[in-house]
Amino acid sequence: MFATGMTGYQETLTDPSYAGQIVVMTAPHIGNTGVNDEDPESRRIWVSGYVVRDPSRVVSNFRANGSLDDDLTRNGVVGISGIDTRAVTRRLRDAGSMRAGVFSGADASLAPEEQLAIVRGAAQMAGLNLSAAVSVQAASVTPARGERLGALAVLDLGVKQATVENLADRGFEVHVLPQDVTLEQLLAIEPVAVFYSNGPGDPAASDDHVQLLRGVLDEGLPFFGICFGNQLLGRALGLGTYKLPYGHRGINQPVLDKATGRVEITAHNHGFAVDAPLEGVIESPNGYGRLEVSHVGLNDNVVEGLRALDIPAFSVQYHPEAAAGPHDANYLFDRFADLVREHSATRGLSSPARPGVSKPRTTDEESN
Ligand SMILES: NC(=O)CC[C@H](N)C(=O)O
């Protein structure tokens, strides 16, 4: 797939949501600012391959302590340059994101048909669950900063460091939990709220995370989800998801906040989306009351946010942590903190109540 950001390649490479994907950069000149210790969004580079037109031969930045080339080598990730990435992008826009291969070493001398057979033998992104590959194995805690709101359970489906920092800045004691945590283990930290992160893979292949989220919503806990978290909230509420032809990956995507009429320029990285009517109020097929699409992508009218009207839950498909990207959507972290404050005031911090809607509890009502 292709990414259109002209800056922030280090954040892109270390964003776990790119796991399993070969990233083609439309910006022609990549690597000028090298790499540093401050910008990684996670513990490693996750892309499967990196395709650029013209890598910088000189690293020039006061923060740099290495080059892009060295960083890719250290992480065992293959990069390829000298490619007309804009021509590749035009093909991807016409034909959609597809499986691909970058061959080096002995594989480079294989016949094209043999290379094609290797690519065709690779797994499709549709139907793939990659959460276990990127999630932490053990929980970790980042202390709250400023006014303390309480413990926040973050399900690590591929969380970015900038998200953790934004949540800690809002007063949450951020507990990053492994993706296979049980509802009992999650509730044991006595969270005031729950957050689902971004992450790689097809949301339709994440039934366990959807079930866990339904347990969280049944507890009446406030919820915020970003990107993969938005898709999983959609599924928990009873909506379907689908694969976009070539996805949204860049840092200048216009999104309408329907509540304010304001247009935000935002960072995106998603290949799937929630299927829901853009206008009007929808009744949750899973019995969570009313919900609506809160944000819409203006390039192609894709659902970019959801809000439940009868339970304290909302999510966005794009990236308010904006690493890299513009900060227009940063208010969403404040909106989450406000929701938790309101909820704590009405329910009491230590005794979460069930939402005032009755929910059928069978498992076969999942719509996808
Ligand atoms: N950044 C994300 O969370 C991506 C979500 C999902 N894997 C998608 O491609 O749509």
DSSP annotation of 220: T
- Global pTM reads 0.93
Instruction: Among 242, 249, 269, 318, say which to mutate for ligand 1: greatest number of ligand atoms within 8 Å of CB.
Output: 269
Sole residue written with tokens 């991807």: 92
Q: What is the pLDDT of residue 353?
A: 42
Q: What is the pLDDT of residue 348?
A: 55
Per-residue b/e over 274-290, b at no fewer than 16 CB within 10 Å? bebeeeeebebebbbbe
- Max Cα separation, the chain? 67
The binding site for L-glutamine consists of 17, 199, 201, 228, 231, 269, 271-272
Q: Which amino acids bring their CB within 6 angstroms of ligand 1?
A: 17, 198-201, 227-228, 269-272
Cα of 232 from ligand 1 centre, angstroms: 10
Instruction: Among 206, 209, 231, 232, say which to mutate for ligand 1: greatest number of ligand atoms within 8 Å of CB.
Output: 231
Cα of 268 from ligand 1 centre, angstroms: 9
Whether the CA torsion 115, 121, 125, 130 is positive or negative: it is: negative
Which atom from ligand 1 is nearest to the alpha carbon of 157?
A: 3
Domain spanning 2-120: which CATH class is it, in words?
alpha beta
Whether the CA torsion 318, 320, 326, 328 is positive or negative: it is: positive
Q: List the one residue out of 152, 163, 154 whose CA is nearest residue 15.
A: 163
Which atom from ligand 1 is nearest to the alpha carbon of 270?
A: 10
Cα of 357 from ligand 1 centre, angstroms: 30
Indicate which residue's Cα is closest to atom 5 of ligand 1.
Answer: 228
Which atom from ligand 1 is nearest to the alpha carbon of 272?
A: 10
The binding site consists of 17, 199, 201, 228, 231, 269, 271-272
Half-sphere exposure of 200 (CA within 13 A, CB side): 24
Which atom from ligand 1 is nearest to the alpha carbon of 229?
A: 3
DSSP annotation of 76: T
Token pair for 47: 């892309």
Q: What is the pLDDT along the chain (368 residues), one digit of tens a residue?
A: 999 999 999 999 999 999 999 999 999 999 999 999 999 999 999 999 999 999 999 999 999 999 999 999 999 999 999 999 999 999 999 999 999 999 988 999 999 999 999 999 999 999 999 999 999 999 999 999 999 999 999 999 999 999 999 999 999 999 999 999 999 999 999 999 999 999 999 999 999 999 999 999 999 999 999 999 999 999 999 999 999 999 999 999 999 999 999 999 999 999 999 999 999 999 999 999 999 999 999 999 999 999 999 999 999 999 999 999 999 999 999 999 999 999 988 875 444 444 444 444 444 444 44
The architecture of the domain spanning 131-347 is 3-Layer(aba) Sandwich (3.40)
Decide if 316 contacts 332 (C-beta within 8 A).
Answer: yes
Which atom from ligand 1 is nearest to the alpha carbon of 244?
A: 10
Decide if 58 contacts 33 (C-beta within 8 A).
Answer: no
Q: What is the pLDDT of residue 13?
A: 98
Sole residue written with tokens 């959807």: 210
Indicate which residue's Cα is closest to atom 7 of ligand 1.
Answer: 200
Active site amino acids: 227, 319, 321
Q: Establish whether the linkage from the previous residue to 324 is cis, with ω within 30° of 0.
A: yes
Domain ranges of the chain: 2-120, 131-347
Cα of 33 from ligand 1 centre, angstroms: 27
Cα of 158 from ligand 1 centre, angstroms: 10
Q: What is the pLDDT of residue 346?
A: 82
Pairwise CA distance, residues 198 & 225, whole Å: 8
Instruction: Among 206, 270, 300, say which to mutate for ligand 1: greatest number of ligand atoms within 8 Å of CB.
Output: 270
C-alpha distance across the termini of the chain, in Å: 25
Kindly provide the ipTM of the predicted complex, given to two decimals.
0.97
Cα of 114 from ligand 1 centre, angstroms: 31
CB atoms within 10 A of CB 187: 17
Token pair for 101: 């291969």
**Who contacts 231 (Cβ-Cβ below 8 Å, separation ≥6)?**
203, 241, 270, 272, 273, 274, 317
